């Protein structure tokens, strides 16, 4: 079944793309592309590099807090290599796995590298969920829309689970009553018998335990020095501000200037929907989410699709930059097929098709 998953994702991606093409005026879309403003297009490209720098800064800071100072520019280069692996290579080697391997090899601690990458991703996800819950209220009655409030409910559920991991951490694994509850649920779903359900249970529980351990370590880092949490919060907010600017410049490249408040209010919802892992690299679903949700604040379909395709092209561009960065590494720096230092590491990659760059 696993080998069919990529094929199914490609089919779903093509379905979303076909739906988008069928619902927009292709003539207007092509006209938008021909009238692109080169100046704003260049600014839109520049901000992608600034967004990668902001992500690298948080990763650099979190790794430094664990006692492993690594030159920023070196980690900046590794981040681009991560884009290359996430977007271009048809293998199980994700970009975060490669970043963890490079950082762990450099600083001599694979666990510290993994924890820093997990913390970078986890704190970003927490912020996205908080914004998805709060920002629609900024947009007046936006939160009441039937396409918005279900996503807010999902964000609430995911946020509760993430906070539970962060607060519980290692303690959850040692809790007697949680162990009894898990055993009861396991019997209810018949995962206590040999078979597919038991295998899925063991795989899922292993992932939850691994995430809990990493979240517990992150909590300990914040508990030892609350200033670290403040810096990480500021870094994450900076990244979101750049993400809003990224969308605004994407629209401006095609001659539109949307309301900042409207875009900021609906963007977290669009990002969350665009991250649902049912397509290949979130191709199609991300662009569809932009068309639907930015349409709620008055942005036209053709204009939004043009903006979304521009963001997609920038993701591809960053992947090519990463390819060049890898090609110029010293010989022997990268193995042919690096093994993940942690089987859960490959699960941390963020979807390449969202508005993160």
Report the percent of the chain where pLDDT is more than 70: 80
Within-domain flag for 185: no
Q: What is the pLDDT of residue 240?
A: 95
Q: How far is CA 77 from the centre of its chain?
A: 19
CA distance 71 to 88: 26
Domain count, the chain: 1
Please say if the pLDDT value at position 348 is more than 50: no
| Averaged pLDDT of the chain | 83
DSSP H or E stretch at residue 46: helix 38-65
Q: What is the pLDDT of residue 350?
A: 46
DSSP state for residue 339 in the 8-state scheme: P
Q: What is the pLDDT of residues 68-82, one digit of tens each?
A: 999 999 999 999 999
Within-domain flag for 210: no
Q: What is the pLDDT of residue 336?
A: 45
Within-domain flag for 36: yes
Please say if the pLDDT value at position 194 is more than 80: no
pTM (2 decimals)? Answer: 0.83
Residue 187 CB-half CA count within 13 A = 5
CA distance 149 to 129: 13
Pick the closest to residue 319 from 117, 121, 85, 102 (CA basis): 85
Please say if the pLDDT value at position 341 is more than 70: no
Within-domain flag for 198: no
Within-domain flag for 217: no
Within-domain flag for 116: yes
Q: What is the pLDDT of residues 21-49, one digit of tens each?
A: 888 888 888 888 888 899 999 999 999 99
The parent domain of residue 112 ranges over 2-153+225-348
CA distance 331 to 334: 8
Using 50, 70 and 90 to split pLDDT, how confident is the model at 334?
low
What are 58's two structure tokens?
């948080």
Within-domain flag for 182: no
């Amino acid at each position: 079944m696993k080998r069919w998953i990529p094929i199914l994702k490609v089919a779903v991606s093509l379905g979303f793309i076909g739906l988008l093409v069928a619902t927009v005026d292709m003539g207007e879309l092509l006209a938008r592309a021909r009238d692109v403003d080169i100046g704003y297009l260049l600014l839109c490209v520049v901000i992608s590099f600034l967004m990668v720098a902001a992500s690298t800064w948080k990763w650099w800071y979190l790794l430094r807090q664990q006692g492993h100072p690594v030159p920023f520019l070196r980690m900046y280069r590794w981040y681009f290599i991560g884009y290359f692996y996430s977007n271009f290579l048809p293998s199980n080697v994700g970009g975060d796995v490669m970043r963890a391997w490079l950082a762990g090899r450099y600083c001599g601690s694979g666990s510290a590298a993994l924890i820093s990458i997990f913390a970078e991703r986890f704190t970003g996800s927490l912020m996205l969920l908080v914004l998805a819950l709060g920002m629609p209220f900024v947009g007046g009655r936006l939160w009441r829309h039937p396409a918005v409030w279900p996503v807010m409910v999902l964000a609430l559920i995911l946020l509760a689970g993430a906070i539970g991991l962060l607060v519980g951490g290692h303690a959850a694994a040692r809790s007697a009553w949680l162990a009894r509850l898990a055993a009861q649920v396991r019997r209810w779903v018949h995962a206590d018998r040999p078979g597919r359900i038991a295998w899925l249970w063991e795989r899922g529980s292993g992932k939850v335990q691994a995430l809990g351990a990493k979240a517990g370590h992150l909590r300990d880092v914040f508990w030892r020095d609350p200033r670290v949490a403040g810096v990480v919060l500021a870094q994450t907010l900076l990244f979101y501000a750049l993400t809003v600017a990224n969308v605004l410049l994407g629209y401006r490249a095609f001659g539109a200037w949307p309301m900042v408040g409207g875009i900021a209010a609906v963007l977290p919802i669009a990002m969350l929907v665009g991250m649902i892992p049912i397509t290949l690299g979130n191709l199609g679903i991300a662009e569809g989410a932009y068309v639907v949700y930015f349409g709620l604040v008055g942005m036209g379909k053709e204009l939004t699709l043009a903006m979304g395709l521009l963001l997609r092209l920038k993701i591809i561009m960053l992947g090519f930059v990463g390819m060049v960065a890898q090609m110029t590494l010293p010989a022997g720096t990268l193995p042919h097929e690096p093994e993940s230092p942690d089987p859960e590491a490959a699960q941390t990659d963020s979807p390449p098709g969202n508005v993160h760059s």
